[in-house]
Amino acid sequence: MIPDAPPPRRAMGHAPLRRHDSVRRTTSLEWTWPEGEGGPILIVGCGRDIVTRRPDDPPEIIHENSLSLTVSPGKILLALDSQPAVPGLDALIGHHTVSGFRRALADHVDLAAIASLPLRALLDDVVGCNIISGWVWARRRPLEASHFRSEDHPMLGACIGFAPGASSLAPIQPIWPRVPVPPLAHPNDPAGFHPLQPDGGITMRRVRRIDVWHEGDLQIDSMFQDSGSNPEGRREAIHEYRLRATADAAAGTLRTIEADPYTLPHPDCVDAPAGLAGLIGEDLPKLRSAVLRQLRGPLGCTHLNDAARALAEATALARWLRHGQP
């Protein structure tokens, strides 16, 4: 279980400058613990879609959505609110926010009605946020043996990083170099990313950016980042991927896809991008289900899977470029 090399540890940096005739989606979920460790979690989400005709002009805002949730320490949804309001969301109160959450969401909410909205992406990210929500507190505890057997590890088999025999299952983990998180908005294009909550206190954050434009094929440039505050009061990265993909502009089928890992927690995670090749030929709108079907458990990476699934809205975003509507 001793790793041969450290995992990728480099900062992704600012968002790229906006392209002409492009559409950009940015989303964020930020969570805090108003009552401290052991208390409920407050999750606040924001999502924005913008069209850029000329990079020097202010972007045209298409959608601005929000989501707020209160989650119990046991991962049970206690309260939620969204803008726009969505029929059926209240039925999710009382559900577990990890186990079965996406199934409950599909059972109670007309997802097709919100498929083109940032809110759909925010709701889908609730699961991933609650999976990693304990990182910020674990980061504040002293390093010591965990006294578990690898075959009893709660994450065993959950993804490629926790496949049987992975170095992540060792009771004592190496201390890898920390990766600071710079501001996501480009200094020469502050309008290119929606405002995020100022750093301070004990917080975690998940952000995404998806740029879509036409250049022969449909071009997609996407990023995904999980980060949290460390005991020194600075923000550091936990997971970071950048994805680039192309799709047939008319049919909407995936032609190419590649993932560039910037920051990963374990050396074993670096093998996950190879599995993305199995998605080529899939219809973009069906990626959410295709990823879950093809890259389950050790065949995929939980966080890379989420990044790939988020590309499902690329065709809906692209319609704004040629038709001015979703």
What's the chain's average pLDDT? 87
pLDDT at 146: 47
Rounded Cα distance between 191 and 267, Å, is 36
Q: How confident is the model over 231-265, as pLDDT tens digits?
A: 888 899 989 999 999 999 888 899 999 999 998 88
Residue 145 has pLDDT above 50, yes or no: no
Q: Looking at residues 154-161, what average pLDDT do you find?
A: 67
**Which residue pairs from 198-201 have beta carbons closer than 8 angstroms and sit at least 24 positions apart in sequence?**
199/229, 199/233, 199/234, 199/235, 200/229, 200/233, 201/32, 201/229
Q: What is the pTM of this model?
A: 0.90
Rounded Cα distance between 117 and 316, Å, is 9
Q: How confident is the model over 56-96, as pLDDT tens digits?
A: 888 999 999 999 999 999 999 999 999 999 999 999 999 99
pLDDT at 152: 55
Q: Looking at residues 191-206, what average pLDDT do you find?
A: 92
pLDDT at 169: 67
Question: CB of 319 within 8 A of CB of 326?
Answer: yes
Q: How confident is the model over 211-225, as pLDDT tens digits?
A: 999 999 999 999 999
Q: Looking at residues 129-138, what average pLDDT do you find?
A: 85
Q: What is the dihedral of CA 122, 58, 17, 115, to 10 degrees?
A: 20
